[in-house]
Amino acid sequence: MDLSLTIPSSNQHVELANPVFTASGTFGFGTDHSDATEMTYLGAIVTKTTTLNPRFGNPQPRIAETSSGMLNSIGLQNPGLEAVISDKAPSWTDIEVPIFVSIAAEDAAEFAYMAERLSTVAGVTGIELNLSCPNVAGGLDFSTDPKLASQVVEKVRKVTPLPIIAKLTPNVTNIIPIAQAVENAGANALALTNTLLGTAIDIERQKPILSTIFGGLSGPAIKPVVLAAVYKVAEFARVPIIGIGGIRTGADAIEFMLAGAAAVQIGTGNFLDPETPRKVIQEIQEYMSQHNINKLSDIIGGARR
């Protein structure tokens, strides 16, 4: 059975063995495993989001469990670009899985600088632009405005030949013009979507649970919302769509593919069970066998036909 996926780029295509990624912020920098061969079953790894300068993140508490997912307000805690390059990147060449480095920045020029810097680092397969973090001041500005989002992608496109994934927010009235804008600016894939803005309140303390009051809701609760976004954007997109939101099983992944996604990312599922990505891949294979599907790409967008 052929589960392969191609991510196009300006001068090189990235071939993935299967369409199951780990989502940013849920798998560290891909360097926590003592044995790199433990990860070879994955289609790709998206690293924890990196910023130009180190970030300590938001004050505790910054994670809250919900009845059907979780709220997080980590605040992009990370050691900064240069520390990631010097301390994390050397291990990436030993990992036989494509590595997409997630980056966030304060403006388009900073995004471009980081992307250009990473383009010369061995082991970096591509860049995921985190245009949509809901728990960092200013983080939503890029992906709620087609003009701002496209400006970021356009500047990054000029400085790197690597594949660019644009990660968008669901916290908009209409995601289609934003998706179209970043695609037209040079994005090679669209990651749909980041978390939904949410909050939770401790009724005993009578205070919000998160120190920042608001955080990003992920997990099964947001799956129908994200699935709708994928379905809508797939009508217009000419580049691969990567679905993110509540994917815990192979059936969840197949739903996204039938809606129009070419790949999926596993996020909250990694916290519930670190074996979730492996199980999703196995269950996709079982589905293909049961339905006599030889090539997974044949069913992409099948629910739309």
CATH number at residue 219: 3.20.20.70
Confidence tier at 34 by pLDDT (50, 70, 90): low
Q: How far apart are CA 142 and CA 148, in angstroms?
A: 5
Report the pLDDT averaged over residues 147-167: 96
For the chain, the average pLDDT equals: 94
Report the pLDDT averaged over residues 202-213: 96
pLDDT tens for residues 261-295?
999 999 999 999 999 999 999 999 999 999 999 99
**Residues of the domain holding 156:** 5-304
pLDDT tens for residues 70-115?
999 999 999 999 999 999 999 999 999 999 999 999 999 999 999 9
> Among this protein's residues, is 12 annotated catalytic?
no
- The whole-number pLDDT of residue 224 equals 97
Count of domains for the chain = 1
Per-residue pLDDT for 135 more than 90?
A: no
Report the pLDDT averaged over residues 233-261: 97
Confidence tier at 134 by pLDDT (50, 70, 90): low
Instruction: Confirm if 130 and 92 have CB atoms less than 8 A apart.
Output: no
Q: Which of 3, 20, 99, 133 is catalytic?
A: 133
